[in-house]
Amino acid sequence: MRALVAVKRVIDYAIKIRVKPDKTGVIKENVQHSMNPFDEIALEEAVRLKEKQIVKEVVAVSLGPSKSQETLRTALAKGADRAIHVEVEEAIAEKIEPLLVAKILKRIAETEKPDLIFLGKQAIDDDYGQTAQLLAGLLSWPQAMYASVIEQESDKTFIVTREVDGGRESIRIKIPAVISADLRLNEPRYATLPNIMKAKNKPLEKKKPSDYGIEIAQQTQILEVTEPPVRKFGVFVEDVPSLVTKLKEMGVV
């Protein structure tokens, strides 16, 4: 069984982002980037399935500027066997929407023929949370989104527990299928130094969207990126009675 894992390079989750003064986007230069946390979880799951000898090969894919190769090297260090980098210029990468990513992943799936495609449930930069579902739709494959437990049932089927609004539900999916990872799926490992060294020799194939016959087109145009409204500074109270008085004054209790 082959697993394809899509990983995205994003601004590190711990960074407090800043909006560009000209309102065209957020400042990305000289800002710490790392692998999207949900993608790390997706990758970890694929690697664990390989360790359980359910999956034979894990292929990591990333779409983005040349620096995305660092993210792919991290994926290789964490256990992916090989990587595919679909390169686009930095300025274009900013504009790429989930639909285009899904179209390219579909083409890659047609040549790589994976049995499972893993993605994170959302990227923490654009917060769209669409790519996995769009991809499953384009491929007409079953989708198991927000997965928190994945178990192989037979050669062709997996049982997946999903985190949904009211609780959790369990479904049976037939491969090939698309799975998106929820936070609770696993605890991703750290890449060890020897593995980081070894990852340097693992194959990393370079591609362009045009190699897949895909033209960069946009349906969503960013008009303006702004700071959210700032909340007014609040007050401190000394003790519980003054808290209660204050809440009563405000008419909320």
Q: Least Å distance between CB 103 and other proteins? A: 9
23 versus 56: smaller Cβ distance to other proteins: 23
Binding test (CB under 8 A) with other proteins, winner from 102, 109, 116, 119: 102
Omega of the bond leading into 209 within 30 degrees of 0 (cis) = no
Say if residues 8 and 54 touch (Cβ distance below 8 Å): no
Given 75, 121, 179, 188, the residue binding other proteins (CB under 8 A):
121
* Sign of the C-alpha dihedral computed for residues 189, 194, 195 and 199 taken in this order: positive
Q: Is 9 in the site for other proteins (CB under 8 A)?
A: no
* Closest to other proteins by CB, 190 or 236: 236
What is the distance between the alpha carbons of residues 41 and 185, in angstroms, rounded to a whole number? 7
CB nearer to other proteins: give 17 or 191. 17
Tell me the per-residue interface mask from 125 to 144 with other proteins, x by CB under 8 A, - otherwise. Answer: xxxxxx--xxxxxx-xxxxx
# residues near other proteins by CB under 8 A: 78
Sites for other proteins among residues 160-179 (CB under 8 A): 163-174, 177
CA-wise closest residue to 200 among 32, 70, 21, 46: 70
Tokens matching residue 79: 């256990």
Site for other proteins in 72-91 (CB under 8 A): none
Q: Which of 72, 61, 95 lies closest to 216 in space, CA to CA?
A: 95
Q: How many whole angstroms separate alpha carbon 182 and alpha carbon 58?
A: 19
CB 147 within 8 A of CB 118: no
Q: Spell out, one character per residue from 195 to 224, where the chain touches other proteins: x when CB under 8 A holds, - when not.
A: ------------------------xxxxxx
User: Minimal distance in Å, beta carbon 18 to other proteins?
Assistant: 9
Closest CA to 144 of 125, 157, 127: 157
